[in-house]
Amino acid sequence: MNDKIRHANITEEHLKGAQEELKNKRFSNVGFLSLRALEQMIEASASEEGLHFHEHPRTAHKNRRNWMKIHHPDLLDMWDQLWGIYGALGYGGLNGERAKQALVILKKCLTELSRREKIAIRGL
């Protein structure tokens, strides 16, 4: 299995997990898994260029954001919104509306990246 497919599969797993966690009202997990799903989608996309941000965990988040800024600057605001929601839900995690918002943003961003990068993601 190539890197693009492997990261796309992990994206789907995190998306499905975030959806399940929302149903189970584990809101901090929704924020975490939503952010991880987007990061895996970026990994899948960047792997086409031979980039593997996960190999350097210390700088991975920054490098993924930089990749997004270069390749899809119009989607960067969604990245920032997910980070904000992740932070808010990570400290308390009691806000179901914020968790729902995270999934809406995630699905919108994944749908667009899926179309642009030609990576099929089930569950959108």
82 token code pair: 């997910």
Cα-atom radius of gyration of the chain, to the nearest Å? 14
CATH number at residue 22: 1.20.120.330
How many domains is the chain partitioned into structurally?
1
The answer to whether residue 124 sits within a structural domain is no
20 token code pair: 């399940």
* Residue position matching structure tokens 């995190």: 14
Contact 22, 103 (CB under 8 A): yes
Cα–Cα distance between 83 and 123 in angstroms, integer? 22
Q: Where are the beta strands (DSSP E) in the chain?
A: none
Domain that holds residue 111: 3-117
Contact 110, 37 (CB under 8 A): yes
For 32-44, b/e burial (b = at least 16 CB within 10 A) is bbbbbbbbbbbbb
The answer to whether residue 122 sits within a structural domain is no
Contact 89, 21 (CB under 8 A): no
pLDDT at 114: 98
pLDDT at 7: 97
The answer to whether residue 123 sits within a structural domain is no
The answer to whether residue 30 sits within a structural domain is yes
Q: Considering the entire predicted model, what is its pTM?
A: 0.94
For the chain of 124 residues, list the mean pLDDT of each consecutive stretch of 10: 93 98 95 97 97 95 97 97 90 83 98 98 94
